[in-house]
Amino acid sequence: MIIKNSAYGERWGLLDPQVLERTKRRPCILDEEVNKKITIKDIHLKILRNGMGSFSRDLSKKNVTVTDFLIPCTNRLIPARKYETSSGDKYNMTKCLVYLHGGGFIGGSLETVENQCKLIAERSHCVVISIGYRLAPETPYPGAFCDVVESLEWIINNKAILNFNDSQLYVAGDSAGGNLAVICGLKDKRHIIRRIISIYGALDMTEIKKTLYKWDYSRYTIAKEHSSYIHTRLNKFALLTKIINVLYNTFEVAENPLISPVYAQNFKDFPDITLVEAEFDYFLQSNIFFSKKLESLGLNVDLIMYKGLDHGFFDRLGTLKQAEDLVNVIADILISE
């Protein structure tokens, strides 16, 4: 595991000062709320969607060309956006990273990851393509998965017109996008994926009491003075997981490996993977469990841990220095492999 220290150096159990101040401005979410049953009547979709993503800044030097296009899939067109450094760049754009936005399968968009994709393209000198897969509840499972799988096939089959020539793709995503990236790896029979980069991937949709690894607050190091704030951040995404089960899974059980990849058993075609996590991410425990599972099978897995941070930190590019650091990590992977 690669450890990225927080503002507190080697200390564990403390929220980054910026995350702490932001959390203090919001109501606490008590542990008891996580145990409440959620029905469709309890869900305010518009409010949820409006709250997806955080303000980010464009840190690129304005030499990235952005092009919107449509990917033809079976009986539908999927919106996509391509990022590439402007003509005259001394580098050849031989590689392509496909990025899948987060948003709990119910929100997020091409716009929410615009600045991240631009900066990755600029610093890696690779083509970056963001996919606007369909969202629940309008399109529940397996809609998003089908959109991404078909889009990857189309992208690799049309690499010439997309201005890259590598025979494989890099696939990255955050939260729900990380989930989709991992699931695509499970179904990569053509071996078109060179590496997955899953950023705090939502790898388990099962209820806390049913988790394979026995999810528990005690598995986190939590400083007493930050306890209520850390619990609030964990509980927010525990509740979101319950909402996902109502709106996205619908009639499918959460233990389906194509919904919760921690339940996967067949890794025959699985590519190399980098798992990026945050110290106080609700999905940290499922990612550690998944990482150990892959390692036990002899697969290539890297785990990067950002201390002091929580789920969604990559959204805050330009205001949180660790988000820019992660862009550099991704760019370095693309350049070095």
Domains in the chain with CATH codes: 2-336 (3.40.50.1820)
- In the Cβ-directed half-sphere of 15, how many Cα atoms lie within 13 Å? 24
In whole angstroms, give the CA distance from residue 275 to residue 184: 15
User: What is residue 92's predicted lDDT score, i.e. its pLDDT?
Assistant: 56
Q: Which residues pair with 301 in a beta bridge?
A: 273
User: What is residue 89's predicted lDDT score, i.e. its pLDDT?
Assistant: 53
Residue 286 bears catalytic tag:
no
User: What is residue 86's predicted lDDT score, i.e. its pLDDT?
Assistant: 77
Query: Which amino acid appears at position 323 of this protein?
Result: A
Query: Which amino acid appears at position 250 of this protein?
Result: T
In whole angstroms, give the CA distance from residue 255 to residue 121: 36
* Geometric angle at alpha carbon 103, from 102 and 106, rounded to 5°: 130
Query: What letter would DSSP give residue 57?
Result: -
User: What is residue 51's predicted lDDT score, i.e. its pLDDT?
Assistant: 85
Which pair of tokens denotes residue 85?
């450094």
User: One of 175, 198, 260, 291 is an active-site residue; which one?
Assistant: 175
SS3 34: helix
- Blockwise average pLDDT, block size 10, the chain, 337 residues: 96 98 96 93 92 89 94 98 77 86 97 98 96 98 98 97 95 99 97 99 96 98 98 97 94 94 97 99 99 98 99 97 99 96
Query: Which amino acid appears at position 134 of this protein?
Result: R
C-alpha gyration radius of the chain: 19
End-to-end CA distance of the chain: 19
Q: Which residues contact 270 (CB under 8 A, 6 or more apart)?
A: 185, 186, 188, 294, 299
